Amino acid sequence: MGLKVIGSGLGRTGTLSTKLALEQLGFGPCHHMAEVFMNPRSIALWVQAGRGRPDWDAIFDGYSSMVDHPGCCYWRELMDRYPDAKVLHTVRDPDKWFDSTQATIFNPHRPHPDQEPMKTFFDQINAFYGGDMHDRGFMTDFFHRHTETVVAAVPKDRLLVFDVREGWGPLCAFLGVPAPDTPYPRENSTEQFQSRAGAGQAPLDMDRIAQSARAAAGKA
């Protein structure tokens, strides 16, 4: 199938909402960290990618778009592998982003996996940041530098810097598709993440995610 949209935005920038939006627009299934948890055999492929031996066609077999970790760590490589794909860079206020990461995906109180290959998989994501992921100054600076690097490297006609608060308009114009009449998806807020985790549930609504992906695959 080959990727048509490459998400270079970091996790906690509305990536799950954007995954659902892309699938609704016909650019699905869309790969997201949730797909790794639902397809654990793919972890070995990601570990190999982190070691410089990627098999992108195997990793993204059946997908037409990608957002979130771990794919956003490899946006440069994916741009080269899929030269016709557009690059979608999701952003938000850096301080709010940092607060969200500390309450969810980078919560300092969450145990780090100690079993392989999951341990190496998360070690590689941590190495992408290259510093103290719990230090506000370091992380917000990383956020700014990441956006600046993407904007400098991606041709303007191939890139959209997008805040999900903008809704369907900019995204649909960028992708050349009509805007739906339904509201832009809003999924996996910090409150939703913490509520599910506090109730002993998976932090992500896997049923909804899988349902959306199946519907997208049915349209393909």
Task: List per-residue pLDDT tens for the chain, 220 residues long.
Answer: 699 999 999 999 999 999 999 999 999 999 999 999 889 999 999 999 999 999 999 999 999 999 999 999 999 999 999 999 999 999 999 999 999 999 999 999 888 889 999 999 999 999 999 999 999 999 999 999 999 999 999 999 999 999 999 999 999 999 999 999 999 998 655 555 555 555 454 555 556 665 666 666 666 5
pLDDT at 161: 98
Q: How far is CA 208 from CA 71, 92, 215, in A?
A: 21, 24, 11
Tokens of 6: 């490459």
CA distance 216 to 212: 6
Residue 182 Cα distances to 69, 167, 179, 186, angstroms: 27, 10, 9, 12
What is the per-residue pLDDT for 95?
98
Give the pLDDT confidence score for residue 205 in this predicted structure.
59
SS3 141: helix
How far is 78 from 119, CA to CA, in rounded Å?
Answer: 24
Distance CA 169, CA 177 (A): 10
